[in-house]
Amino acid sequence: MPTSRSYRDSCAIARALDVVGERWALLVVRELLLAPQRFSELRRALPHVSSNLLADRLRELEDKGVIHRPAPTEGPRAYELTERGRKLEPILMALSDWGMDAPQPPPPSSLSATSVLIFLQRAARPDPAAPPTSCRLELEGRVWTVRLASGRVEVQPGEPATAAASLRTEPMTLSALLTDPATLDTACADGSATVVGDLSAIDRLLRAVTEPWPSGDQPAATQERHSEVAVPHSR
């Protein structure tokens, strides 16, 4: 059943936690940052939550105006963030930065496609002088367009209009490749990753995280942070 618990504290922090402080609530928000998702997709992205508990969190977040379900054009209705829910993004990114130094969870652990794509989008700094390049990325059966342009990486759901290369893999493998791009050939050889098209385009994408191009519009401290960035999971 959805919870109605409250801290009964008038502080704005406590009132915010009354809305999104329940277990799994913020991870649901994380999963919706890049694209709407159906219940089955959220269940797959969060394998350690029960269906009943996930349904409760979704109802609570919907009742509190954090998410909503527009009328579908076809198939089941997907959940997406409201304008108010979207305002949680910088809070989640700050939590991500803070959590980089936290210990890894005990196995078996999971890593969602959205999680690793958010990291990729934030951490990658490709050469701003290089021509724009689009790659097709397929994770867990869902396709994403990853565009490298103007020294940044942008991730969007759906098929690219054109792509220099396509990479199909799993989130954990992509995370490992972002840690060590030199293992791409090995991953292709053992079948954990499949590349079609220009292999160098995928290599450039991966190395934009481990070998970031210094960005002139970033503070020096931020440049240094990107040079020592760690992916959320590597194994």
Q: What is the pLDDT of residues 117-138, one digit of tens each?
A: 999 999 999 999 999 999 999 9
Eight-state DSSP code of residue 37? B
Which segments of the chain belong to CATH 1.10.10.10?
12-99
Annotate 41-95 with three-state secondary structure: HHHHHCCCCCHHHHHHHHHHHHHCCCEECCCCCCCCCCEEECHHHHCCHHHHHHH
Q: Tell me the CATH architecture of domain 113-208.
A: 2-Layer Sandwich (3.30)
Q: How confident is the model at residue 216 (pLDDT cuts 50, 70, 90)?
A: very low
Q: Among the listed ranges 21-30, 184-193, 207-216, which one has the minimum average pLDDT value?
A: 207-216
pLDDT of residue 223 exceeding 50, the answer is no
Q: Is the pLDDT at 227 greater than 60, yes or no?
A: no
Is the pLDDT confidence value at 224 over 50?
Answer: no
| Assigned fold of 12-99 | Arc Repressor Mutant, subunit A (1.10.10)
